[in-house]
Structure 1
């Protein structure tokens, strides 16, 4: 950030939005803005007054009040006044100083912002996969821009930035709306069930667009040569400096910082650095979390509806059955059948069931035997005497198997050492057992401040972390995994 006079001075142009006569000031500025959109830039006091009087709200509005309001807006730099001397026919008309008024540039942008705020909940935000596709296409054209003329490069750069800004703002606004209190309340209503499927399908289509395009964009930006980037961005800076601007002095340094900063924002959005998750990954996680939340709320609503679906009719039917009972004894029997026994006794057996089928009855289960023991204090179970068994042969066999396994693992790990190093980026397809050994070595070394440790047979090694910021893929028999590009360096020679 550069602290300049423009940044520290007060903005008097926004005073009309919160002044005492804000209703008059805002209506006058809206009249000027509507005419500005119709390419009518200059207006006279009488024209402003006539438009205000057309609304019943300004039935008591006077011409003197209009003059005062126009003077206040001129003092706040919302309007610029110019004395019209084209139709002056006398000295008296000249001394009365008939002015025409025009909106300032700040006021035009302020009114555009106010209009956007007024329509914030009407326009809404959206997730558009087409923006990702357009960004992917434009990023892919980066090397082509090296040989294009300056105006074509500037147009391409503007399209890329506009699409990126729309994507960034739209996804933030849309995710914010879905996480708002109003959205949470709507998700708990029954009316949400009909809307749920369309919303989930919309979010899943966007996720598919993310999966198709983000990886390609990341590879394109990562593989972009530094010379190509410098050449293209310098062309954009040169064209920006060549655009003539009225009453504005532009510094080449500020323009270059702005353009390079925008490129860095695009880079950070799609490319993860230093183990940090990029913005695209955060968007992917946030969208998946919203889908899970929507599904959870829908399931709760469905369960609530199912529980109370026909409960009223069931109660009526049960009441009619009880009313048909001949006496209280029959009513008790009916209650036991409908609601179950008042104090039932259950036998609980701790055994694994052979099947979890809900259609299987208890009569089809295999019986379980329960041994009943006397409940007296002096009862003792009979103990059976048995001789001591010699497990020496079995222990020797297990020990031999373990030693053989350790020897095999050590030989397999030794085959991976090349010139005293194990490069994870150059490993062949390895077994899961060998992978566990290598990862255990890494874990032991990572716990040490100097990244050093020893193997099971006492060999000392250190980790080479010089290229840890890069990624590599280790191929295993049961799958692949991505890890930092680390090397294990053995130090027997140094010792």
Structure 2
């Protein structure tokens, strides 16, 4: 986006909308605008003053105030003036400068916008399926339009853009109304059920029109001749350049950028670009979501209404049953059956049920005994006295088994030691538990500053590494380990 100087400048013509005397300026501008719509472009100060005095709000309004207001509006660019010299007969009358006033073009557009803003909540937006049909018809006419004159091309272009703008704006306004807080609150009331079906049918007609026309429009946009399209857009640019404009500098680059941007927006709305989802599909999903939301609200209202009616009948039947009770005790029993027991007895601590059936009663279960203990701090349960069992035989068997296991491991480990040296580089494939013993010896020595350690049976050893940086592969059935080529040297073999 290129920020031009006109965008950075303050807009003095809109100043009358929010100043101290806005209550006088806005009626004056509105009076000029209404006369402008009647093709009466010029007004005298006396005419303005006479029109304002007819309203009770301006009973204390003076001609001097009117002259000051007109001068302020003229200074801000809202009014343009011209001195009326036709009926001047004396020099004194010429000096008094009797002016005629006219709305400026900018102020006309501002006032049109203000009327639109004032009627924003009065004019209701709508969904017009015919706009989609007209857009589709105009796009199909591109091969025919490419051979038409420049005037007809520009008329076709304006019709296409106006339909697209109306479709987009009306849809956004209508969806904004349906998603507003006021609409949400209204959908929760019973009155919403009256026109719910009509609203859903209205939205479904729009969805059907989307389904029928969007695919045709998308096909037209994808299959059209790009050469014809560029020629048409060029003719539109040339036509707009040929329009005479006063006090406005319009370049060909600005018009081309505007025309191409409008066409890109049209394609993005119906086709999508760069793999993104088209706006038409989003419109389709949003409309369907609105229909689902309306249906959900209507269903909840119906359920709430029906549920209330059903409960009223149930309460009435219960009231009749209570009125037929013979005494208060029978009424208590009925209340216990209907609302539950007032003070129920909770049974807990029943472990290991024999059945998981929910129909099994309490009296059908096996009895469970609960030992009640005193609730005092000094209470201690009596210890169960028992004699000392002689387990010396089992201990001796466990000791002998441990000795045999250690002896077997010692013989196995000594089988890998040659001349008091255990070289990791020269080891064959070993079992995982043997590997763990060797690595534990290595870890103990590495943790010592002198690289010395002691095995479980008291053998002292130290580490050596002939070639620092050399590595070896320690193989085992569960995997291979790459490690430095250390050698464990035992100082004294037991």
Instruction: Indicate the residue corresponding to 2:228 in structure 1.
Output: 228
Alignment root-mean-square deviation, CA: 2.5
Partner residue in 1 for 2:170: 170
Q: What's the secondary structure of 1:121's corresponding residue?
A: coil
Residue 328 of structure 1 deviates from its aligned partner by 2.8
**What's the secondary structure of 2:102's corresponding residue?**
strand
1:284 CA displacement: 0.8
Residue in 2 aligned with 1:395?
Answer: none
Secondary structure at the aligned position of 1:245 is classed as coil
Distance 1:207 1:32 in 2: 44
Aligned residue pairs total: 357
Q: TM-score, normalised by structure 2?
A: 0.68
* Match of residue 198 from structure 1: 198
2:78 and 2:20 map into 1 onto residues whose CA distance is: 16
The verdict on how the C-alpha distance between 1:334 and 1:106 changes in structure 2, with shifts beyond 3 A counting, is: same
Q: Secondary structure at the match of 1:80?
A: strand
CA separation in 1, counterparts of 2:129 and 2:316? Answer: 54
Displacement of 1:235 in angstroms is 1.1
Map of 2:139 onto structure 1: 139
Cα distance in 2 for partners of 1:341, 1:194 equals: 44
Distance 1:348 1:103, change over 3 A: farther
Mapped to 1, the partners of 2:18 and 2:6 lie a distance apart of: 22
CA displacement 1:155-181 (0-9 Å, x = unmatched): 000000000011111111111111111
Deviations along 1:234-282, whole A, 9 cap, x unmatched?
A: 1111211222222323211111111111111101110122321111111
Provide the rounded CA distance (Å) in 1 between the counterparts of 2:162 and 2:73: 33
Q: Which has the larger radius of gyration?
A: 2
1:281-360 correspondence to structure 2 within 5 Å: 281-309=281-309, 311-312=311-312, 314-335=314-335
Q: Tell me the residue number matched to 2:159.
A: 159
Shift of 1:330: 3.2
Task: Specify the alignment match of 1:269 in structure 2.
Answer: 269
Aligned partners of 2:337, 2:82: CA distance in 1, in Å?
Answer: 95
SS of corresponding position for 2:166: helix
User: Could you tell me which residue of structure 2 aligns to residue 388 of structure 1?
Assistant: none
Runs of at least 5 residues in structure 1 that lack an aligned partner in the other structure: 351-361, 363-367, 377-495
Partner of 2:104: 104
Query: 1:89 offset after TM fit, Å?
Result: 1.2
Comparing 102-111 with 123-132, greater Cα deviation is found at 123-132
Runs of 4+ in 1 over 4 A off after TM superposition: 336-345, 347-350, 372-376
Give the drift of 1:204. 0.6
Query: What secondary structure, in the 3-state scheme, does the structure 1 residue paired with 2:146 have?
Result: helix
Match of 1:185 in 2: 185
How far apart are the structure 2 equivalents of 1:41 and 1:168? 34
Deviation for aligned residue 1:322? 1.4
Cα distance between partner residues in 2 of 1:145 and 1:46: 53
Structure 1 distance, partners of 2:365, 2:115, is 85
Shift of 1:315: 2.9
Structure 1 residue aligned with 2:129: 129
Q: What is the distance in 2 between the residues matched to 1:373 and 1:219? A: 75
Q: Work out the CA distance in 2 between the residues paired with 1:41 and 1:113.
A: 19
Partner of 1:55: 55
Structure 2: distance between partners of 1:22 and 1:143: 54
Mapped to 1, the partners of 2:60 and 2:357 lie a distance apart of 90
Task: Determine helix, strand or coil for the equivalent of 2:82.
Answer: strand
Single out whichever of 208-217 and 330-339 deviates more from structure 2. 330-339
Shift of 1:319: 2.3
Matching of residue 39 in structure 1 with residue 23 in structure 2: no
| Partner secondary structure for residue 309 of structure 1 | helix
Query: Are residue 74 (structure 1) and residue 41 (structure 2) matched?
Result: no
Q: In the TM superposition, what is the alpha-carbon distance from 1:336 to its structure 2 partner?
A: 5.8
Q: Matched residue of 1:193: which SS?
A: helix
TM-score, normalised to structure 1, is: 0.68
Supply the distance in 1 between the matched residues of 2:176 and 2:71 (Cα, whole angstroms): 42
In the TM superposition, residue 311 of structure 1 has moved relative to its aligned partner by 3.6
Query: CA offset at residue 2 of structure 1?
Result: 2.6
The verdict on how the C-alpha distance between 1:121 and 1:349 changes in structure 2, with shifts beyond 3 A counting, is farther
